[in-house]
Structure 1
Amino acid sequence: MDVPSTTLFQSLIVFAACALSVWIAGARLAYLADALADRYKLAKSLVGLLLLSLATSLPEVATTLSAAAQQARDLVLNNLFGGIALQTAILAMSDFWSRGPITNYPRKANHALEATLLVLLLSVTLIITNLGETFVVAGVGLGSVAIAVIYGGAIWLLRRYDDSSDWVPVDLPDPDPLAFPAPTGLGRSGNAALIWQAGAACLAILVFGLLLVLFAQRIADQSGLGTGFIGVTLLAAATSLPELTTSIAAVRIGAYTMAISNIFGSNLIMLVLVFPADILFRAGPILQDTSRTVSLALAFGLAVTAIYLTGLIVRRKPRLGEFGLDSILVLLTFLGSLGAYYVAR
C-alpha cells in the first residue's frame, strides 16, 4: 500500500483516526453478534469463541501478515504476544460494567478449559522461542507448525466440550441482562441486513487495521523508540480496540460469557497467527533468535491467564467494591509488564 510521507505529528493523527474507526466498528459488531446469536439461537460463549473473536482479531491478522511480508519480525511477534496480556487486562476492565466479578458468571467449565488450553499454547510457544527452531522445512519452523496443530486440537476440544454439564458451580450471580438499550433499528432489521452490517464492520476493522500497522512502523522510525517497544505497546493497544469495545458492549447487555470467550478466543488466535506469519517471513523461522521482549510478553500472557483461571475455579473470591481480586491482579500485572517492556526495549 503506497501511503504519502507524513511528519511524526501527522502520523500520530492518522494513527489515532484509524484507531477510532476500529473502535466504532468493533462496538457495532458486538451488538450485531448478540442479535445474531439470539436470532439463530446460538450459545453466546460459542459465538464469542469462534465468531466474535475471529472478527475482532482481523486487525491482528492484517498487521501480522502485512508486517511479516515486510520482514518485520519484531513488529509481528511483539504485536501478537504483547496483545495477549493487554486483551486479558481488557477483560479485567469489564468488571467496571458488570455486577460483581465477571469470572463469577460462567455456568459451565468451558471458560476454565479455554484458559487452560491458552496456558498450554503459551507455554509451548515460550519453549520454542527459548530453544530455537531446530527443524526447518522451506523456511518454516516445526515449532510454528506445532502451534497451529495444537490450536486446531484446542478448538475441536472446546467445541466438543461446549454442551458438557459435568461441572456445575453454585452461588451464581443474577443471570438477567443489564438494562441497556440496543442500537436503534437492530430489533427491526432482518437477518440478512444484520449479516451485511456485520460484514461491513469486519471490513472496516480489516482495512483500518492494515493502516494501523503501516503508521505504527512509521511512528517507530520517526520517534526513535524502535519497533519492539512500539509493537508491544502502541500497536498492540490499537489492534486490541475491537476486543475492548466488544467486551464492554457485551458486558453492558449482560452477555458475560460472550465477553470472556471473545478475549480467550482472540488470544488463541493471536498465537496461531505465528504459523501464516512464518510462511510469509522469508528470512528464516520467525521464532528463531527472538528478542527479550518476546519472551517477556509470553511470560506475562501466562501470568494473567493463570490468574483468571484461578478466578474461574475459585468462585468466592475477595473483592474490592465490584472488582474481583483476580481482575485487580491482572491489571497490576499488565501495568508491570509495560515497565518491563520499556526496560527490555
Structure 2
Amino acid sequence: MQIPVTSLIQTLILFTLSAGCVWIAGARLAYLADALSDRFKLAKSIVGLLLLSLATSLPEVATTLSAAVQQSRDLVLNNLFGGIALQTAILAMADFWARGPITNYPRKANHALEATLLVLLLSVTLVITNLGETFVIAGVGFGSIAIAVIYVGAIWLLRRYDDNSDWVPVDLPDPDPLAFPAPTGLAQTANKSLIWQALASCVAILVFGLLLVLFAERIADQSGLGTGFIGVTILAAATSLPELSTSIAAVRIGAYTLAISNIFGSNLIMLVLVFPADILFRAGPILQNTSRIVSLSLGFGLTVTAIYLIGLIVRRKPWIGVFGLDSILVLITFLASLAAYYYVR
C-alpha cells in the first residue's frame, strides 16, 4: 500500500483519522457480535474467543505476514508479543465502564481456562526464545510448530469445555443489571443485514488498521525513535486499537464475557501467528537470536495474564474507585513494561 509523502504533523493527523475509523468500526462490530450471538444462540465466550478476536486481529495478521515477507524479524516479534500486555491492559481500561470489577462477572470457569492456556503458551514461547531453535524442519523452527499445535489443542479444549459446567463459582452476588436496554439499535435488524454489517466492519478494520500500521511506521522514521521500541509500543498500539474499541463497546452494553474472551482470544492469536510468520521468514527460524525486548514482552504478557487469572479465581476483591484491584495492577504492570522497553531499546 503506497501513500504520498507527508510531514510528521500530517502523518500524525492521518494516523488519528484512521484510528477514529477503526474505533467506530470496532465498536459497531461489538454490537453486531452481541446481537448475532443472541440470534443464533451462541455462547458469548465462544463468539469472543473465535470470531470477534479474529476479526479485531486482522491488522496484526496483515502486518505480521507483511513484515515476515520483508524479513523483518524484530518488527514481527515486537509487534506480536508487545501487543499481549497492551491488549490485556485494554481489558483493564474497559473495567472503567463495568459495574464493578470485570472479572467478577463470568459465571463459569471458561475465562480462567482461557487465561491458564494463555499462560501455558506464553511460557512455552518464552522457553523457546531463550533456548533458541535447535531443531529446524524445512526452514521452520520446531518451536513455532509446537506453538501452533498447542494453540489448536487449546481451542479444541476451550470449545469442548464451553458446554460443561463441572466447575462453577457459587455463593456469588448477581451482577447489577443494566439500567437501560443495550444501546445497539439492532433488535429489529434482519439476520442477513447483521451479517453483512459485520463483514463490512471487518473490512473497515482491516483497511484502516493497515493504514494505522503504515502511519505508525512513518512516525517511527520521522521521529527518530528505534524500530524495536516503536514495534513494541506505537505499532502494537495501532494494531490493538480494534480490540480497545470492541472491548469498551462490549462492556458498555453488559457483554462482559464477550469482552474478556475477545482479549484472551486475540492474545492467543498473537502467539500462533508466529507459525505462519516463521514459514514466510526465510533467514532462519524466526524465534532464534531474538532481542531482549522479545523476552521482556513475553514476561510482561505472562505477568498481566496471571494477574487476571488470580482475579478470575478470587471473586471477592477490593475496588479502588471504579476499578477492580486486578485491573489496577495490570495497568501498573503495563506502564512498567513501557519503561522497561525504553530502557533496553
Match of 2:16 in 1: 16
Match of 2:186 in 1: 186
1:47 is displaced (CA, Å) by: 0.7
CA distance in 1 between counterparts of 2:320 and 2:341 reads 28
CA distance in 2 between counterparts of 1:173 and 1:258 reads 20
Point out the more displaced range, 280-289 or 255-264. 280-289
1:288 and 2:294 correspond = no
Match of 2:105 in 1: 105
Q: Contact 1:121/1:147 (CA < 8 Å) preserved in 2?
A: yes
Match of 1:69 in 2: 69
Match of 1:242 in 2: 242
Residue deviations 1:167-195, cap 9 Å, x none?
A: 12124343464235555652222100110
Residue deviations 1:48-76, cap 9 Å, x none?
A: 11111111111111111112122221111
1:11 is displaced (CA, Å) by: 2.1
CA distance in 1 between counterparts of 2:61 and 2:109 reads 29
Matches within 5 A, 1:164-313: 164-175=164-175, 177-180=177-180, 182=182, 185-313=185-313
CA RMSD of aligned residues (A): 1.5
CA distance in 1 between counterparts of 2:73 and 2:17 reads 26
Normalising by structure 1, we get a TM-score of 0.96
Change (3 A) 1:277 1:315: same
Match of 2:333 in 1: 333
Match of 1:94 in 2: 94
Secondary structure, counterpart of 2:119 in structure 1: helix
Change (3 A) 1:177 1:53: farther
CA distance in 2 between counterparts of 1:81 and 1:177 reads 36
Q: Contact 1:59/1:239 (CA < 8 Å) preserved in 2?
A: yes
CA distance in 1 between counterparts of 2:12 and 2:145 reads 36
Match of 1:4 in 2: 4
Amino acid at match of 2:132: G
Amino acid at match of 1:118: L
Change (3 A) 1:216 1:72: farther
Amino acid at match of 1:25: A
CA distance in 1 between counterparts of 2:343 and 2:244 reads 26
Amino acid at match of 1:279: I
Change (3 A) 1:273 1:326: same
CA distance in 2 between counterparts of 1:172 and 1:246 reads 27
Amino acid at match of 1:291: S
Amino acid at match of 2:42: L
Change (3 A) 1:244 1:281: same
Q: Contact 2:182/2:254 (CA < 8 Å) preserved in 1?
A: no
1:41 and 2:41 correspond = yes
Q: Contact 2:178/2:254 (CA < 8 Å) preserved in 1?
A: yes
Match of 1:123 in 2: 123
CA distance in 1 between counterparts of 2:287 and 2:185 reads 47
Change (3 A) 1:84 1:184: closer
Change (3 A) 1:315 1:69: same
CA distance in 1 between counterparts of 2:337 and 2:128 reads 21
Residue deviations 1:299-342, cap 9 Å, x none?
A: 00000000110111111122213321111111110011110010
Q: Contact 2:31/2:184 (CA < 8 Å) preserved in 1?
A: no
Aligned length: 345
1:90 is displaced (CA, Å) by: 1.0
Amino acid at match of 2:191: N
Secondary structure, counterpart of 2:233 in structure 1: helix
Gaps of 5+ in 2: none
Residue deviations 1:118-149, cap 9 Å, x none?
A: 00000011111111111122321111111111
Amino acid at match of 1:196: W
Q: Contact 2:28/2:201 (CA < 8 Å) preserved in 1?
A: yes
Change (3 A) 1:11 1:70: farther
CA distance in 2 between counterparts of 1:328 and 1:215 reads 31
CA distance in 2 between counterparts of 1:102 and 1:42 reads 21
Secondary structure, counterpart of 1:266 in structure 2: helix
Match of 1:150 in 2: 150
% identical aligned pairs: 85
Change (3 A) 1:175 1:33: same
